[in-house]
Structure 1
Amino acid sequence: MALFSQGQKEWLARLNRSRRMLWLLGALSFLETLILPVPLELIIIPLMASNRARIWSIAAVVTAGCLLGSLAGYGIGMALFQSLGTWLIGVMGIEQSYQSFQTFFSQYGFAAIIAIGILPIPYQVALITAGLSGYPILLFLLAALLSRGIRYFGIAWLVYRFGHQVERMWKRHALMTSLLGGVLILVLLLGMQLIASRLV
Structure 2
Amino acid sequence: MAIISKSTKAWFERINGSKNMLWLLGTLSFLETIILPIPLELILIPLMAANRQRIWLLATVTTAGCLTASLVGYGVGMLLFQSIGNWFIEFMGMQESYQAFQTFFNQYGFAAILVIGIVPIPFQVAMITAGLSGYPILLFVLAAFIARGLRYYGLAWLVYRFGHSVLVLWKRHALLTSLVGGVIVLLFVLGLQALASLVM
**TM-score, length-scaled by structure 1:** 0.98
What is residue 69 of structure 1 aligned with on the other side?
Answer: 69
Matched, 1:82 2:74: no
1:14 & 1:194 partners in 2: Cα distance?
50
- Structure 2 residue 158 is the aligned partner of structure 1 residue 150: no
Partner of 2:25: 25
Q: Residues of 2 paired with 1:89 and 1:21: CA distance?
A: 31
Aligned to 2:135: 135
SS of structure 2 residue aligned to 1:71? helix
Q: Distance in 1 between matches of 2:61 and 2:87?
A: 28
CA displacement, residues 73-126 of structure 1 (integer Å, 9 cap, x when unaligned): 000000010111111111211111101001110011001000000011110000
Give deviations 1:154-185, integer Å, cap 9, x for gaps: 00000001001101000000000100111101
1:108 is matched with: 108
> Does 2:11 correspond to 1:14?
no
Unaligned runs of 5+ in 1: none
Q: Determine the structure 2 residue equivalent to 1:40.
A: 40
* Matched residue type, 1:164: H
Runs of 4+ displaced beyond 6 Å? none
Provide the residue aligned with 2:187 in structure 1: 187
Task: Tell me the SS of whatever aligns to 1:187.
Answer: helix
Aligned residue pair count: 199
In structure 1, C-alpha distance between the alignment counterparts of 2:53 and 2:64, rounded to whole Å = 19
Distance 2:130 2:36 in 1: 20
Can you give the 5+ residue segments of structure 2 that lack an aligned partner in the other structure? none
Alignment partners' CA distance in 2, 1:105 and 1:112: 5
Cα deviation per residue 1:41-87 (whole Å; 9 max; x = unaligned)? 11101110111111101100000000100000000000010111111
| One-letter amino acid of the structure 2 residue matched with residue 46 of structure 1 | P
* Structure 1 vs Structure 2 CA RMSD: 0.8
Q: TM-score, normalised by structure 2?
A: 0.98
Q: Which amino acid aligns with 1:41?
A: E
State how far apart, in whole Å, the 2-side matches of 1:38 and 1:50 are: 21
